[in-house]
Amino acid sequence: MKYLSILGSTGSIGTQTLDIVRQFPNEFKVVGLTANKNSDLLLKQIKELRPKAVAIMDKSKVDDLLNFSSCQVYSGIEGLNRIASLNEADTIVNALVGSIGIEPTYHAARNKKNIALANKEALVAAGSVIMEEVKRNNVNMMPIDSEHSAIFQCLNGKNINEIKKITLTCSGGPFKNYSREQLINVTKEDALKHPTWDMGNKITIDSATLMNKGFEVIETHWLYNLPYEKIEIVIHPQSIIHSLVEFQDKSVIAQLGLPDMKIPIQYALSHPKRFLSNSQSLDLAKIKKLEFKEPDFEMFPCLNYAYEAGNIGGTLPAVMNAANESAVYAFLDNKIRFLDIPVLIKRMMDNHISIKNPDLHDILQTDKQTKEETKKIIEAEIV
């Protein structure tokens, strides 16, 4: 039996995680839950799962939970950190979206909790600090991303020093065949129509700009301790091959599966076992074709920014992440255009003087300041 705290239990990854918990009631017990502001769904989850404690970011929603549940209720970032550190939990599922996931990941590692990680931003912005805690406390960190789950499976039992390169596959998003002229007038409705994956709004926009894949490059660096020159990207529209690992003898191992997030979520929770899945099986005979091509770094400059931020390191990845987060939400609120997103990111990166060896405080301050500065630029309409 694994005892789980699920951070972001009302979101896309969180609700799919709970579907798996329901499928295997003898394997998993939920002891902690958190939500941003969806108190109605969180309350339903509390009544069903009876956790020890919960947290909600929106402090105005606390009374909604206290009036109708008997468990301990916390709020704000302090509440998230408490649920990430619960004595009763041995595994933390971080399904949070954005840099809000940094502190809870750090606290989970510091309190020797195993981590199933879907929150990309934690490693993108604070990889050095978090991985130091992971190693110091001998924490098991399992990736939930389909690409990093694929890499983990391809590397199982292999010598990481024998890797020639890792290739992350990328669907290319909804605009993979667009010209720059076509990108000028795309709407959020256009950007939210992902061709293969069903995800939350923020990550769907990140996939449309290909920033999501840039994030995954940085995650790969931290998870597998690889230099950036050994991490490549290839566009694969069908999203059947999730990642590939080439070894120095030129042998290539790939992991395949239909685009279904429940598969990597379940593996992250069940490892080292493999449980019977009710997901659809891959039938290669029904797949008409598998396509591959190089990404267009000029059309989608966020990829370049991720490699640049990763290679320079320090607090620059935190700036890139914070500027992107602010820009994406501004785009979703119809305050800026799609092509303004990379412009804002580049502007904030160019204006930043990176702190070389930041601690957690430095990273959190950089995140806060960058978001404030990006918001000012957006509100002044000087993108």
Domain map (residue ranges) of the chain? 2-139
Q: What is the pLDDT of residue 68?
A: 83
pLDDT digits (tens, 9 = 90+) for 293-352: 999 999 999 999 999 999 999 999 999 999 999 999 999 999 999 999 999 999 999 999
Question: To the nearest whole number, what is the mean pLDDT of the chain?
Answer: 95
In CATH terms, is domain 2-139 a member of 3.40.50.720? Answer: yes
Q: In what order do the strands lie in the sheet with 141-143?
A: 72-75, 53-56, 28-35, 2-7, 91-94, 114-117, 141-143
The sign of the dihedral angle between the CA atoms of 174, 175, 178, 184 is positive
What is the percent of the chain where pLDDT is above 70?
Answer: 99
In the DSSP assignment, the letter for residue 357 is S
Work out the end-to-end distance of the chain between its first and last CA atoms, rounded to an integer number of angstroms.
51
Q: Which of 154-158, 224-228, 327-331, 378-382 has the lowest mean pLDDT?
A: 378-382
The first and second tokens of residue 350, run together, are 């160019």
Q: What is the pLDDT of residue 218?
A: 98
pTM of the predicted model as reported, rounded to 2 decimal places: 0.95
Q: What is the pLDDT of residue 371?
A: 98
Q: What is the pLDDT of residue 382?
A: 65
The first and second tokens of residue 302, run together, are 């966020």
- Sequence letter at residue 216: E
Q: What is the pLDDT of residue 210?
A: 96
State yes or no: pLDDT of 383 exceeds 70.
Answer: no
pLDDT digits (tens, 9 = 90+) for 4-27: 999 999 999 999 999 999 999 999
pLDDT digits (tens, 9 = 90+) for 72-123: 999 999 999 999 999 999 999 999 999 999 999 999 999 999 999 999 999 9
C-alpha distances out from residue 378 to 160, 204, 212, Å? 44, 21, 22
In the DSSP assignment, the letter for residue 293 is B
Q: HSE of 353 in the Cβ direction (CA atoms, 13 Å)? A: 0
pLDDT digits (tens, 9 = 90+) for 204-243: 999 999 999 999 999 999 999 999 999 999 999 999 999 9
